[in-house]
Amino acid sequence: MEEEKAPLLLTIAVLGGTGKEGKGLAYRWAKAGYKVLIGSRSSEKAVHAASEIMELLEGSSSVVGTSNLEAAEQANIVVLSVPYAAHRDTLESVKDAVKGKLLIDVTVPLVPPKVTKVQMPLDGSAAQEAKAILGDDAQIASAFQNTSHELLLTDGEVECDVLVTGSSKEARTETIKLVEAAGLTGWDAGPIENSVVVEGLTSVLIHINKQYGSTHAGIKITGVSSDE
Amino acid sequence: MEEEKAPLLLTIAVLGGTGKEGKGLAYRWAKAGYKVLIGSRSSEKAVHAASEIMELLEGSSSVVGTSNLEAAEQANIVVLSVPYAAHRDTLESVKDAVKGKLLIDVTVPLVPPKVTKVQMPLDGSAAQEAKAILGDDAQIASAFQNTSHELLLTDGEVECDVLVTGSSKEARTETIKLVEAAGLTGWDAGPIENSVVVEGLTSVLIHINKQYGSTHAGIKITGVSSDE
């Protein structure tokens, strides 16, 4: 089945795009017609992940693997999907490259082994830490922390809404477009300070999975239509 | 229509039970057959609220109004539903009375006028503040922060799940029973530290209500059955 591609001119860099979550997002955006750059500390691994995605999409899209820095430099929108342990270093290494661009932070600051307990960084959340590193004039949004990566790499419906927080209304609106392009429902969840709720919700959902024997606990917003 | 009453012997005190949220919970628990004590700083107001609820229930239940302290002393389970500004004072005034009892904190630490922005107390959340005041051996749970009070005072279905955090598994399990008695779906959402997510979610839902023109935004857990 041939899907219609929207004429999108934007390039999205997924830093840490060799990880499961990043790869799933890259797959969905490439499928929606975006040009996607997979970034990694190892360009070789990035090239490999890009070709994996191209194979899944049967070559009809544009996915290129490169270094995190080169991906950030060449993209219009930069998505940060690295393990929390690499969060600060990665941000500092691409700080100049993301100036004036939207940075979407996908990082969940889990502290192993107690991943079912909310344990936020000193700045309040990973997203606020990103803001502290990139500076107050950076355009930062935070999203996708609660989405199961296994579902992203399939074409099935993901039964989990995406709460989008951000440093400005514009950052949130732009991010919600990318949420929808990935086939999910996004909600404007308020200022970047609210990211603590969304990042922390991941620990709550992991706890629920353990307690109730599930693997893909998620959330849906009720009582409101997102089309209004 | 006569509803069957379970033979419940527990007495629940709702401190701040003259407020909208507290009154709604008192109504639902009295209807389920619990003996309910409405507590307030003003016994007079508590007596008035109790008689309002008795009227709604057509006198078939036991709802009594009294002071916060007396309510806490006479109950088996104590529910704290005061405005955040009265949170610390109320807890200190009933500290001895709640020893050995389950305390369920319903408080949302909103900081007006910016109620759409998550702004947690220094201890991390209202529930952790309660724990700091009552001591490490206190049995504390945290719940009902996301539930619209207007829906509680009706007999309709509330389309919002209740995330229950608590200082022990027992505290959470006992609280989930009360959630179900109130006609809602409750989830074990983990340790008391996770209450920051649930309390903060209230600001996110208020933000969503403002953004999307709704009045009762809520959440549902997806991808898992609570009956397992």
pLDDT in tens, A33-85: 999 999 999 999 999 999 999 999 987 789 999 999 999 999 999 999 999 99
DSSP track, B68-114: HHHHHHH-SEEEE---GGGHHHHHHHHTTTTTTSEEEE------TT-
**Confidence at residue B2, expressed as pLDDT on a 0 to 100 scale:** 43
Q: How many CB pairs under 8 A join A and B?
A: 144
**Confidence at residue A128, expressed as pLDDT on a 0 to 100 scale:** 97
Q: CB–CB of B219 and A217 under 8 A? A: no
Tokens standing for A75?
Answer: 């993209």
Give the closest-approach CA distance of B52 to chain A in angstroms.
28
Q: CB–CB of B224 and A208 under 8 A? A: yes
Q: Chain B contacts of A213, Cβ < 8 Å?
A: 224, 228
Name the band, by pLDDT with cuts 50, 70 and 90, for residue A227: low
**Confidence at residue A228, expressed as pLDDT on a 0 to 100 scale:** 44
Question: Residue A121's Cα: distance from chain center in Å?
Answer: 19
Give the closest-approach CA distance of B63 to chain A in angstroms.
31
B150 and chain A in contact, CB less than 8 A: no
User: Rounded to whole angstroms, how far apart are CA atoms A151 and B224?
Assistant: 15
SS3 label, residue A8:
coil
Q: CB–CB of B207 and A226 under 8 A? A: no
Exposed, middle or buried: residue A96 (CB in 10 Å: 0-12, 13-18, 19+)? exposed
Q: CB–CB of B197 and A188 under 8 A? A: no
**With 50 as the cut, is the pLDDT of residue A1 above it?**
no
Q: State residue B146 phi and psi, 5-degree precision.
A: -100, 5
pTM for the structure as a whole: 0.93
Considering only the beta carbons, identify the residue of B212, B217, B228 that sits closest to A213: B228
**Confidence at residue A7, expressed as pLDDT on a 0 to 100 scale:** 42
Q: CB–CB of B221 and A203 under 8 A? A: no
The radius of gyration of chain A from alpha carbons, rounded to an integer in Å, stands at 16
User: Rounded to whole angstroms, how far apart are CA atoms B34 and A5?
Assistant: 59
SS3 labels along B174-228? HHHHHHHHCCCCEEEEEEHHHHHHHHHHHHHHHHHHHHHCCCCCEEEEECCCCCC
**Confidence at residue B228, expressed as pLDDT on a 0 to 100 scale:** 44
Neighbours of A153 (CB within 10 A): 19
Element holding B166 (H helix, E strand): strand B162-166
Name the band, by pLDDT with cuts 50, 70 and 90, for residue A225: confident
Considering only the beta carbons, identify the residue of A119, A163, A207 that sits closest to B204: A163
Give the closest-approach CA distance of B193 to chain A in angstroms.
6
Tokens standing for A163?
Answer: 């709460």
pLDDT in tens, B30-54: 999 999 999 999 999 999 999 999 9
In this structure, are residues A127 and A142 in contact, taking their beta carbons and an 8 Å threshold? Answer: yes
In this structure, are residues B38 and B46 in contact, taking their beta carbons and an 8 Å threshold? Answer: yes
pLDDT in tens, A109-153: 999 999 999 999 999 999 999 999 999 999 999 999 999 888 898
Q: CB–CB of A160 and B222 under 8 A? A: yes
B115 and chain A in contact, CB less than 8 A: no
pLDDT in tens, A152-207: 988 888 899 999 999 999 999 999 999 999 999 999 999 999 999 999 999 999 99
A191 and chain B in contact, CB less than 8 A: yes
Q: ipTM above 0.90? A: yes
The DSSP bridge pattern shows strands A35-40 and A11-15 to be parallel
Q: Choose among B82, B126, B77, B115: nearest CA to B97.
A: B77
Name the band, by pLDDT with cuts 50, 70 and 90, for residue A94: very high
Exposed, middle or buried: residue A56 (CB in 10 Å: 0-12, 13-18, 19+)? middle
**Confidence at residue A212, expressed as pLDDT on a 0 to 100 scale:** 97
Weakly modelled stretches of chain B, pLDDT under 70: 1-8, 226-228
Tokens standing for B133?
Answer: 């005041």
